[in-house]
């Protein structure tokens, strides 16, 4: 019963029987709930409030969503990234005839000025020098002693995952200095015991120029922790850079593409927006280290790597082109976030923000205008040509851009923000600008600015006629129970809300409490869908629980597999039951207990395109709920499905997703199990869902 998806067989009995799937902890008495919908009172809402916030804070890009299998492929790691790192981090060189003078990291004549380091192997006898990489988290992350040339794993996290019969594209920029003739290099994948999994040969002749050489390796077995080895076959000096190994089976088969299982997991959420490349990541740790989008496009060897503020390295192989292409592939609106000339408030104390000098603001503003031209301009424009040369001559048709992230309202900030905003509005009036309201909700008065960031951020956005305001808050479950009317109180006359980062942290590790609190909050956001354009949970991807436990992210992953949190399944259910008309919904919880009243939620939506109606009920109590649903005489199809996600308790690690047929009608009875979200879909589309 621990599998997330259970067969629909016997689901009708499950749907009708009070108590549903699990016997709950606590009170076994049934809670009586009434849900009444008034189809004479509806309003237009944003169809799908579920979006994705993608930020590379938990090693989500290199070694994660970006499908590259070689760590430090550019030899650009340094102590600036992380203490103790250098150009050889994640690599090792083994020599049969002794290691003295065998290799060095050089900078004299690189491929490109933005990629200044490369490795030189000095080979004095054929087949005696072995250059090895063990994937992300491998060599260099744990000391390796006495390993044989063809075996060994650098650390428990290390290892290159390969699958039997799968093909892998190997490539390297190479230069050979030595004798005339063809000089071959052997490359192979081996398992920890030294068995060959796949191999190929390539060659270079004597030359002073760099040349990209490619080969295909086919694995003959499954292996979760393979090692890549490059072996020169003759003497001479071999210069190598950008050593890459990519699975051919990427998401949509894209070259330089995305890891298939992770991209498909994100696609499975049906996000309406993707916010990228991050929040605090765009600031860096000072204005000089801010994320500059131009440095992430163009040929891979010319992109500018950057120090991550979480103390690791970003190759930016996953750059703006790849982000936009991914959004296009999954049908989501891209929402790029750009810095606005102020560093992150956390870079120098809670109130410190470094400002970009005003004499450099024109350059930053032009950079943002260039981004819009790159995304939307014709292929013969200056920046549209860069996009076209990457393989996308047609515009991406970007509609939104976000300015800044959790900005403190410091002296000088408003001037910079206004300058950028007015420049965009003058040149690209159709672009919808998203401002921001600082690092907290509108009741966060505990910080040094006494909550002014939120109030003044909203005012700045309204004064500059911005379309959206990006709100962020990380709150305990108790806050949600007291704020289930949060957006009911907002003025509808100004910008709309883009909830760019939220997470309701709880004390439990299982994640079901966080998921159901999120569910309750989404009922409220659907009710306010005329105001709330999108909500993106934080974070989306984290490698090896790098930032915490299951409750802290949607998708946790390691080098070869991933797991989806309870919040993932809850949000997926909401996204798959999206409607563009909110139906006025009255909820009557048959209890005088404040605990019960705050832990039951409901919403009703209609999709005008399909005519389908969605009735959604969350029961976060420990009691089964007998739910009477009255659609006020609204004609409905008897064709219906019921999808439920439920658990035995809030710390249950084995919640179950189940879906099956349900008898529809204007009046229905639903048995909502304890700790569950239940969604009824009524309409002809229900049978195809």
Catalytic residue among 406, 501, 526, 576: 406
Beta bridge partners of 619: 600, 676
| DSSP string for 579-619 | -SEEEEEEEEES---HHHHTSEEEEEEE-TTT--EEEEEEE
Beta bridge partners of 542: 556
Asked if residue 55 lies in contact with residue 540, where contact means CB atoms within 8 angstroms, the answer is yes
What pairs with residue 357 in β-bridges? none
The 3-state DSSP composition of the chain as helix, strand, coil percent (nearest 5) reads 20, 30, 45
Closest C-alpha among 232, 111, 126 to residue 176: 232
Residue closest to 172 by CA, chosen among 138, 141, 217, 142? 217
3-state DSSP call for residue 133? strand
- Rounded to an integer, what distance in angstroms lies between the CA atom of residue 354 and that of residue 341? 8
Sheet architecture: strand order including 541-543: 541-543, 555-557, 562-564
Task: State the CB neighbour count (10 A cutoff) for residue 98.
Answer: 9
- Distance (Å, whole) CA 310 – CA 281: 9
- Contact at 8 Å (CB) between 671 and 624? yes
Smallest CA-to-CA distance from 528 within 485, 577, 576 is with: 485
CA-to-CA distance for 236 and 122, rounded, in angstroms? 6
3-state secondary structure of 468: strand
Mention every residue, 6+ apart, whose C-beta is less than 8 A from residue 450. none
Q: Are 20 and 673 in contact (CB under 8 A)?
A: yes
- DSSP string over 516-553: HHHHHHHHHHHHTTTTEEEEEES-SEEETTTTS-GGG-
Which phi and psi (to 5°) does residue 385 adopt? Answer: -65, -35
Q: Is 406 a catalytic residue?
A: yes
Structural contact between residues 113 and 301, judged by C-beta atoms closer than 8 angstroms: no
Residue 120's DSSP bridge partners are 104, 239
Give Cα separations from 107 to 88, 185, 317 (angstroms).
Answer: 13, 22, 21
264 and 251 in contact (C-beta within 8 Å)?
yes
> Which of 370, 277, 368 lies closest to 316, judged by CA?
277
Catalytic residue positions, numbered? 406
């Amino acid at each position: 019963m621990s599998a997330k998806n259970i067969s629909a067989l016997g689901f009708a009995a499950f749907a009708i029987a009070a108590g549903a799937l699990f016997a709950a902890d606590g009170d076994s008495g049934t809670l009586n709930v009434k849900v009444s919908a008034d189809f004479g009172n509806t309003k237009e809402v944003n169809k799908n409030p579920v979006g994705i916030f993608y930020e590379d804070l938990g090693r989500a890009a290199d070694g994660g969503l970006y499908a590259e299998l070689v760590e430090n492929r550019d030899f650009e790691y340094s102590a600036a990234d992380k203490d103790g790192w250098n150009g050889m981090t994640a690599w090792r060189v083994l020599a049969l005839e002794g290691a003295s003078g065998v290799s060095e990291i050089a900078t004299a004549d690189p491929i490109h000025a933005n990629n200044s380091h490369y490795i030189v192997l000095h080979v004095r006898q054929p087949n005696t020098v072995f250059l090895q990489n063990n994937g992300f988290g491998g060599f260099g992350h744990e000391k390796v002693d006495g390993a044989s040339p063809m075996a060994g794993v650098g650390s428990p996290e290390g290892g290159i995952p390969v699958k039997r019969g799968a093909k892998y594209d190997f490539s390297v920029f190479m230069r050979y200095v030595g004798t005339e003739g063809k000089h071959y290099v052997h490359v192979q994948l081996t398992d920890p015991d030294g068995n060959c999994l796949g191999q190929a040969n390539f060659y270079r002749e004597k030359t002073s120029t760099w040349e990209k050489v490619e080969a295909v390796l086919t694995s003959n077995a499954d292996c979760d922790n393979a090692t890549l080895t490059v072996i020169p076959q003759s003497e001479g000096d071999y210069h190598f850079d950008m050593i890459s190994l990519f699975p051919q089976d990427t998401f949509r088969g894209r070259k330089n593409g995305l890891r298939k299982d992770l991209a498909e997991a994100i696609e499975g959420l049906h996000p309406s927006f993707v916010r990228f490349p991050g929040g605090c990541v765009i600031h860096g740790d000072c204005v000089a280290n801010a994320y500059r989008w131009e440095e992430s496009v163009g040929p891979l060897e010319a992109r500018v790597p950057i120090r991550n503020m979480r103390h690791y390295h970003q190759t930016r192989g996953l750059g703006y082109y790849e982000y936009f292409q991914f959004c296009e592939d999954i049908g989501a609106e891209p929402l790029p976030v750009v810095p606005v000339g102020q560093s992150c408030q956390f870079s120098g104390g809670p109130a410190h923000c470094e400002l970009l000098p005003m004499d450099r603001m024109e350059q930053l503003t032009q950079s943002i205008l260039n981004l819009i031209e790159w995304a939307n301009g014709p292929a013969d424009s200056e920046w549209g040509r860069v996009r076209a040369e990457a393989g996308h001559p047609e515009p991406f048709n970007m509609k939104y851009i976000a300015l800044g992230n959790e900005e403190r309202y410091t002296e000088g900030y408003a001037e910079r923000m206004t300058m950028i905003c007015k420049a965009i509005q003058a040149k690209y009036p159709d672009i919808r600008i998203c401002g921001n309201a600082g690092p907290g909700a509108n009741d966060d008065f505990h910080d040094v600015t006494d909550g002014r960031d939120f109030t003044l951020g909203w005012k700045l956005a309204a004064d500059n006629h911005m379309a959206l305001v990006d709100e962020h808050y990380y709150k305990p479950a108790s806050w949600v129970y007291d704020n289930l009317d949060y957006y009911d109180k907002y003025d509808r006359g100004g910008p709309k809300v883009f909830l760019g980062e939220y997470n309701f942290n709880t004390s439990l590790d299982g994640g079901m409490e966080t998921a159901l609190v999120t569910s309750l909050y989404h009922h409220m956001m659907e009710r306010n869908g005329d105001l709330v354009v999108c909500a993106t949970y934080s974070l989306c991807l984290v490698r090896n629980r790098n930032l915490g436990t299951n409750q802290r992210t949607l998708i946790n992953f390691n080098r070869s597999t991933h797991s989806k949190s309870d919040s993932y399944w809850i949000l997926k259910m909401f996204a798959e039951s999206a409607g563009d008309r909110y139906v006025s919904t009255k909820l009557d919880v048959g209890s005088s207990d404040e605990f019960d009243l705050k832990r039951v939620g409901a919403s009703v939506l209609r999709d005008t395109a399909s005519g389908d109606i969605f009735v959604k009920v969350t029961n976060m109590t420990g009691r089964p709920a007998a739910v009477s649903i009255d659609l006020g005489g609204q004609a409905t199809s008897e064709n219906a499905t019921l999808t439920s996600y439920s658990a035995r308790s809030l710390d249950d690690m084995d919640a179950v997703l189940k879906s099956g047929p349900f008898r529809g009608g204007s009046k229905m009875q639903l048995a909502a199990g304890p700790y569950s979200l239940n969604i009824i879909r009524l309409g002809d589309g229900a049978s195809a869902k």
